Amino acid sequence: MGSPNTLGSLRTVTETRRAGAIAIVALSAPPVNALSEALRLGIRDGVAAAEADPEVAAIVLIGAGRMFCGGADITEFGRPWQGIGLGELLDRVEDCAKPVVAAIHGMALGGGLELALACHYRLATPAARLGQPEVKLGLVPGAGGTQRLPRLVGTEKALEMIVSGEPVDGRAALDLGLLDALADEEGLEAEALAFAGRLVAEGRGPRRVREDDSRLEHGRIGLFAAAREAAARRYRGFEAPQACIACVEAAGTLPFAEALAFEERTFFALMAGAQSIAQRHAFFAEREAAKIPDLPADARRRPVRRVALAGADLAGAAFAGAAEGPARRLAAILSQAAGLTVLRAEGAAPPDFAGCDLVLVGEARDLASHDADPEAILAVAADAPDPAALAEGPRPERMLGLHPGAPLPGAPSPGSRLLEILRGPATAPEVLATALSLARGLGRVAVVTRGGFIGPRMLGRLRREAGRLVHEGASPEQVARVLTEFGLTAAPLGLDAVAPAGEPAAGHHRRAVSDDEILERCLDTLVDAGARILEAGGALRASDIDVVWLAGYGWPAYRGGPMHGADAQGLPALRDRLRARADRGGPDDAPAPLIERLAAEGGRFADLDRRRG
């Protein structure tokens, strides 16, 4: 093949070199080769230089580092394109007069897959992941994904990929017709060069996806109606899935350029909308939750392989069916995890703690009579563990709390995606780091808190307010319906059968309570509870509180979390409503001091997070 020759130093984010008559344009913008302005310009210049070079017969586009391209740079969302827009770049790639081959490893997601679709041929490794996850950010693919993908794989399969946002691996992509060939992980570049060489030898030029409508199924009766009906059931309340269907439908009913323009208009309309803003907030909030400022980066993370369940309430809890209460739900989650050995009590006999990395109990007192390995984590899983017990237990530096959130319907295992980690006053950094690592290994989103678990504390306030509403005249069924229509799942939160808060007082008259009042009071109460936790240092960030509710209590992603919702509405309005309630109901209904302060400053919870960050 000979040694590669440098075509020229175009941009630091691309490396362009030659292997005989084949130019290699490598995307080099770690860690994920996101399509930032610099990378877009680098690709444009690299392809243009190769196209203009008379010694180049074909071009291979490949990702440096661990992947092809993770997609658009979402930090640029909401701002006009700079340099060159992604759609314009892809048109230039597709218009190239010499064949362009995408060589894919790792991931080609979102804009990364759209880039591959604009290339004339595609190879990938079997383990590569290819997909259009924009719908999970409340968006449609915005650079031709809804137009080129159905032309390659057919309308029905494209709908499945785009509306679900779920990726496929290399083998599935080959079966779908998304790829021309599979390539070995270690030999990807060499195989891509060989493939490009065969194209040249056989005289095969560019093959543009936009020019082949043969796989479009726009005439298939009922296809889109069925897709809309299925999306309405599966993604209740979400706007983006329906918008994705409309864009794919346009691929078969409009000329390519017009359908592309429709997709672009849809993309920017959704980007400016409340749902996408909320979903993008949720995306970033989940990543921020993993950042613990005072946890040393080199804190030891001990592997957790053996778990002991202590306490009579956990006997038999290794079975998924025994999943009532946080300790039993967490025990069931641990029991289903691959690579974990879970020891549980047999009858009255406690499990053998020898060699266990984690001892889980429902109450701290259950640890008192047992001897655990000095290195073991001692974890308490209760809705409201006593913080003092974490400080005064047998080894307070090894103690923390764990809470799996609510048992949401349809969750992959008992509980939710959440794992709250309650940091005790003396919890060692190594113990916290190990718990964070365990959460990742369990596929859960970790949120670190102090003083008590965020979710149960806020849920307790919500239930009390719901009880007050029933006391005043609402029915439990009405409260549950209002919150379900908002997007919550009422039953696991105990909101489908709320008991009145107290007995009617002499002369008390029940009244009609409107749906609007129920929703307003419930949401305001939640935000006030969150603000008090935040002000007391119980949560690192307001966005962490949102993550707890998004990942642990069924808060709909398109609403972004209770604190985000309050920011979007405006804190002065929230403060005024809480003040009015305090005038009627007493000082316990007064707004949290943090709400008062931020409202007076014209600030938001998000501003507070930025200052703390």
Residues with a catalytic annotation lie at: 114, 134
Q: What region does 121 belong to: left with phi over 0, alpha with psi -120 to 50, or beta?
A: beta
Instruction: Give dist(CA 613, CA 608) in Å, integer.
Output: 9
3-state SS record for 529-551: HHHHHHHCCCECCHHHHHHHHHH
Count of CB atoms situated within 10 Å of the CB of 4: 15
Across 425-464, b (16+ Cβ under 10 Å) vs e yields ebbbbbbbbbbbbbbeebebbbbbbbbbbbbbbbbebbbe
Helices 571-585 and 593-601, interaxial angle, to 10°?
140
Q: Are 400 and 377 in contact (CB under 8 A)?
A: yes
φ, ψ for residue 365 (rounded to 5)? -65, -20
Which residue type, as a one-letter code, is found at position 575? R
DSSP string over 418-464 = EEEEEE-TT--HHHHHHHHHHHHHTT-EEEEEESS-HHHHHHHHHHH
DSSP string over 192-205 = HHHHHHHHHHTT--
Partners of 21 in the beta sheet? none
Q: Are 245 and 224 in contact (CB under 8 A)?
A: yes
- Look at strands 399-403 and 418-423 and give their pairing: antiparallel
